[in-house]
Structure 1
Amino acid sequence: MGLFDFLFGNKTKKIDDFKSRGAIILDVRTKGEYQGGAIPDSKNIPLQQLSVRLAEIKKWNKPVITCCASGMRSGSAATILRSNGVEAMNGGGWFNLSQKL
């Protein structure tokens, strides 16, 4: 186990676990950013709309991997989702996450 695994956990293993359980990729960038490039089959709900769309997300009844441009907004989104009873993790930047999927 490396230092980063110790400090931050092994993100690839967690992503694999979430994927094996049918995780939904949730991109929380703006619509314009999302249209400029995104992970195929991901869903786009901008961070600003997340709170009003929680009921919709809960109906998915699946774990959620959040992503954005750099990992900052997706970190906030994952925290909001977890605090509302949704199993969620921050996948970081969408392009880097796409390389791990």
Structure 2
Amino acid sequence: MGFFDLFKQSNINQGIEEYKRTDDAVLLDVRTPQEHQEGHIPESKNVPLQQLDNIASVAKNKDIPLFVYCYSGSRSRQATGILQRMGYSKVNNIGGIAAYSGKVEK
């Protein structure tokens, strides 16, 4: 990772496309349950940032690809670091749903 990668915004739309092409991947929404109920990306699993210790409920295997999003990209960036420290090896921060242009379900 180069210096300028720190400032690069994740593109959630590209991230969703990559998620769809990745076998056995989990799309992880780390927003609050209320935010998730108000609208989320189809197939996403909601494990709020403050409850990441419950991640095994959706991803027992630490080698499973995780695609993490939140509202703006800030909480998903935090979650990515936490998940990596927990031993998950394939964690991708895809950014915030605020920039998402696809279908949202409630």
Q: TM-score range by the shorter chain?
A: 0.7 to 0.9
Amino acid at match of 2:34: G
Amino acid at match of 1:59: K
1:72 CA drift (Å): 0.6
C-alpha spacing 1:19/1:84, structure 2 compared with 1 (3 Å):
farther
Unaligned runs of 5+ in 2: none
State whether structure 2 residue 89 is matched by structure 1 residue 92. Answer: no
Question: Which digits, 9 at most, give the CA deviation of each residue in 1:8-52, with x for residues without a partner?
Answer: 27956x83555433321100000000011100010001111002x
Q: Could you state the TM-score of these two structures normalised by the residue count of structure 1?
A: 0.72
Q: Secondary structure at the match of 2:60?
A: helix
How many corresponding residue pairs? 93
Distance in structure 2 (CA, Å) of the matches to 1:81 and 1:68: 14
Task: Tell me the percent identity.
Answer: 40
2:47 matched to which residue of 1?
45
Q: Could you state the TM-score of these two structures normalised by the residue count of structure 2?
A: 0.70
RMSD: 2.8
Select which of 62, 81, 86 maps to 1:79. 81
Tell me which protein shows more helix as a share of its residues: 1
1:21 matched to which residue of 2?
22
